[in-house]
Structure 1
Amino acid sequence: MFTAFTRLSLVTRIIIAIILGVLVAVFFPNAAPYLSMLGDLFIKALKSVAPVLVFVLVLASIANFKVGSSNAYIKPIMLMYAIGMFLAALSAVIVSIFSPSTLFLNVPAQADLTPPGSLAEIMKNLLLSFVANPVTAISDANFIGILAWAVALGIAFRHAADTTKTFLTDMANAVNSVIRIVINFAPLGIFGLVAVTFADAGLSTLASYAHLLAVLIGTMFFVALVINPIMVAFVTRSNPYPLVFQCLRESGITAFFTRSSAANIPVNLDLAKRLGVPESTASVAIPLGATINMAGASVTITVLTLAAVNTLGISVDFTTMLILSVLATISACGASGVAGGSLLLIPVACGLFGISSDVAMQVVAIGMVISVLQDSTETALNSSTDVLFTAAVDRGLK
């Protein structure tokens, strides 16, 4: 029976694990805490190998770079990332206009959370991340710093002997072998994550925020199933949905339960390889996307900010909403570099409307309550879009 299970595709095994996890949470809720170790071990393993994987792959790709290779596709991929985030924020604005949300702003502000004071501070933190110590960058999973050092060393190694370049390639292949072993344990890890999530999520608590969650998750689904396919169709000149659904199925499901774009980098790199994307392109575009491509974060920032605006009765014209979309897009790029992710960037957007930090932090606290579903869906959108746009540009330009 075990042999038959291992012969199934990874996606099929993950779906079976999800179903079993839900059943355990429903019928044996007291067992869920004991299963949490499976999910914790899986996420820890992914997060441990991801920084090393990104550093080695990018370094090897740049060192073996040849003029005219697929790295020329990086610019259009970055352009798709930027356009996708802006359209996601704009979609959130439009949905919030037609279905405005309001909040119960009586949640105590969480004093232990420290949001960035302004957009300038976010940009400063991002720039400082580029010059971080390489050892610290890897140990802290600072992917901006990791990318900077990998690119710099890769350029330097381009002038190295062929034997050195071969060693770097062999090292990248060795790390890939380790990644494949970790990914094969995904069904077991996701089984534990699902059991704990459904047993401890407190779905009754989420019911009071049903409308807000519906707007957030509905907008993210709209981006995933309408906005992204339109962009992919424009680039590939073909039916986008087979590729869209494959990325959502094989990347989005895993990201939903790990709730970490960084942890999902190995999954995306494996999927990109199977989609035919050259490693020289994927090894740069996927890690960079996990760092700055945050369409889900731009939706979260926009929706929760406008919910606060509606609650306080602040009148806003469409021009200001467009400015909010741009601000949310830029802020979302820095979401991965801030503890608390997109939620702690809400006070920056609230500042556009003169909302005090005390009130803004109450909005953040509400975001923490619904983060079980909001953050999972956001991460699934962010991570699946990374590999989707990378594969789309590769197919379109070929």
Structure 2
Amino acid sequence: MSDNKKRSLTSRIAIGMVAGIILGSILRYFFNDVQWVDEYLTNGLFHVVGQIFITSLKMLVVPLVFISLVVGTCSLSDPSKLGRLGGKSVGLYVVTTAIAITLAISAAVLVQPGSGIERAADTNFQPSEAPSLSQVFINMFPDNPINAMAEGNMLQIIVFSLLFGVSMALVGKPGERLRGFFEDINDVIMKLVVILMNLAPYGVFALMAKLFADIGLEMIGSLAKYFVLVLVVLFVHALVVYPILLKFLARLNARQFLRKMRDTQLFAFSTASSNATIPVTLETVTKRLGVNNSIGSFTVPLGATINMDGTAIMQGVATVFIAQVYGLDLTMSSYLMVILTATLASIGTAGVPGVGLIMLAMVLQQVGLPVEGIGLIIGVDRLLDMTRTAVNVTGDAMVSCIVARSENAFDENTFNDPDAGKDLESL
């Protein structure tokens, strides 16, 4: 019974996505000049419903991350365990990002996606200034935690939540009383996540209809080789690299993992935001995959902040693509610099739509390529952004499983049970 419910949710989200794409394409190609369609449907109903859906997800991010991290941290019997968790999590995220960028550059050098492409004279892109690595580390520590929450600064929220949770664990009885209060709030927030999951098909339909009514597929034609190459590398990383790491480092069934991640991947694809998907990712990791909340509440928000494998893949392919279009040869040292810069830049990449282009500007500047070249790919980046976000959240969940397994905080029975966590979907 519950298995049908789960499949029903997955299929309803997929149906909403496909229906939105079809309707949006019909509106673009057959009703593009009809004013009332643009005013009342594309930029009216679809825009409003889609933005309300994304805003509702983002509404839960800050309280969920703060509450779940505090609950998870204060429940640790040994607060010093945080250092070990942090080292494993950051280490795995950096390694997977380095693998992603290396795979992307190798594929781009082999396929040559920029050969034969004529750059347009009016391509232009003005990037925002990317923060330096030292400034990223400084900015991790909030001078005002309330302001950090108001601005949604995830790294600062994580640091404050960890310190608050450790203090609760060390203070004794006052901490025990607060823990029960925070656990109750956490249950309420998770119920809100369940409610939004059931409303997702409508939000996804509106988002896709609006997107494809605005963006035509004809632009992919001139960039077909680049577009397809990025997609292929993204799929290889998600369906080959992640399963291999999961199998050898955690001895877990990759097929079962990917099957349970489908809903989260669809959420991530439709929102194109790792941060907005945090509530759904955390619910899947803890309730469906069997990761203890003390681990998942730390690794998932951290991964949404620093794990940008999909973005790194785009940066690797785009760097080689732009160099080829401009007829510039990159040396081996330049490629190594791209790998290093893109890996480190992922730490400072916020999990919001389109921010990867800002980090790409930083990578291009490091190897002496024209930043204006970003204008060549910006037209198709939105579609790729959606796919790489799905890859990012898959990586977050994969690392969560590996770290939890290594810390004996993993329920393998929950992981292997196809029905685990499905009762959460019923309202």
| TM score, norm. by length of structure 2 | 0.83
1:363 aligns to what?
Answer: 373
Tell me which of 238, 241, 263 is aligned to 2:276.
Answer: 263
Distance 1:387 1:201, change over 3 A: same
Aligned mates of 2:222, 2:363 — CA distance in 1: 24
> Where does the alignment leave 5 or more consecutive residues of structure 1 unmatched?
none
CA contact (8 A) 1:282 1:390 kept: yes
Tell me which of 387, 391, 400 is aligned to 1:377.
Answer: 387
Say which is worse superposed, 33-42 or 309-318, in terms of deviation.
309-318
Alignment of 1:28-67 (within 5 A): 30=37, 31-33=41-43, 34-67=45-78
Distance 1:245 1:318, change over 3 A: farther
AA paired with 1:372?
R
Distance 1:55 1:70, change over 3 A: same
Aligned mates of 2:353, 2:68 — CA distance in 1: 26
Per-residue deviation at 1:105?
Answer: 5.2
Alignment of 1:217 with 2:231, yes or no, is yes
AA paired with 1:369?
G
Aligned mates of 1:7, 1:130 — CA distance in 2: 40
Distance 1:258 1:319, change over 3 A: same
CA contact (8 A) 2:112 2:321 kept: yes
AA paired with 1:374?
L
Alignment of 1:207-286 (within 5 A): 207-247=221-261, 249-273=262-286, 274-286=288-300
Aligned mates of 2:226, 2:265 — CA distance in 1: 22
Query: Percent sequence identity over matched residues?
Result: 25
CA contact (8 A) 2:311 2:356 kept: yes
Alignment of 1:1-398 (within 5 A): 9-27=8-26, 30=37, 31-33=41-43, 34-67=45-78, 73-102=85-114, 104=119, 106-111=121-126, 113-116=127-130, 121-158=132-169, 159-160=171-172, 161=174, 162-247=176-261, 249-273=262-286, 274-336=288-350, 340-355=354-369, 359-360=370-371, 362-395=372-405, 398=408
Say which is worse superposed, 197-206 or 187-196, in terms of deviation.
197-206
Distance 1:239 1:173, change over 3 A: closer
AA paired with 2:278?
I
Aligned partner of residue 336 in structure 1, secondary structure:
coil
Aligned mates of 1:26, 1:345 — CA distance in 2: 31
AA paired with 2:18?
I
Aligned mates of 2:49, 2:206 — CA distance in 1: 5
Distance 1:27 1:373, change over 3 A: closer
CA contact (8 A) 2:250 2:401 kept: no
CA contact (8 A) 1:237 1:396 kept: no
> Where does the alignment leave 5 or more consecutive residues of structure 2 unmatched?
29-36, 409-427
Distance 1:184 1:74, change over 3 A: farther
CA contact (8 A) 1:244 1:388 kept: no
2:422 aligns to what?
Answer: none
Question: For residues 107-157 of structure 1, what are the alpha-carbon distances to aligned partners after superposition, in whole Å with 9 as ceiling and x for unaligned?
Answer: 34244x4232xxx72441442242242122112111011101111111222
Aligned mates of 2:88, 2:96 — CA distance in 1: 12
CA contact (8 A) 2:234 2:388 kept: yes
Aligned partner of residue 218 in structure 2, secondary structure:
helix
Per-residue deviation at 1:79?
Answer: 2.3
Per-residue deviation at 1:45?
Answer: 0.5
Aligned mates of 2:99, 2:7 — CA distance in 1: 37
Aligned mates of 1:177, 1:42 — CA distance in 2: 16
Distance 1:339 1:275, change over 3 A: closer
Aligned mates of 1:75, 1:47 — CA distance in 2: 28
CA contact (8 A) 2:71 2:182 kept: yes
Distance 1:345 1:42, change over 3 A: same
AA paired with 1:164?
L
Per-residue deviation at 1:346?
Answer: 1.9
CA contact (8 A) 1:338 1:344 kept: no
Per-residue deviation at 1:69?
Answer: 11
2:413 aligns to what?
Answer: none
Question: For residues 213-260 of structure 1, what are the alpha-carbon distances to aligned partners after superposition, in whole Å with 9 as ceiling and x for unaligned?
Answer: 11211211111111111111111234423313432x122111011010
Aligned mates of 1:11, 1:69 — CA distance in 2: 40
CA contact (8 A) 1:89 1:325 kept: yes
CA contact (8 A) 1:39 1:192 kept: yes
AA paired with 1:80?
L
Per-residue deviation at 1:9?
Answer: 3.5
CA contact (8 A) 2:21 2:212 kept: yes
Per-residue deviation at 1:98?
Answer: 0.5
Say which is worse superposed, 211-220 or 280-289, in terms of deviation.
211-220
Distance 1:170 1:75, change over 3 A: same
Per-residue deviation at 1:340?
Answer: 4.5
AA paired with 1:264?
T
Aligned mates of 1:309, 1:8 — CA distance in 2: 45
AA paired with 1:12?
S
Per-residue deviation at 1:6?
Answer: 7.3
Distance 1:139 1:367, change over 3 A: farther
Aligned partner of residue 137 in structure 1, secondary structure:
helix
Aligned length: 385
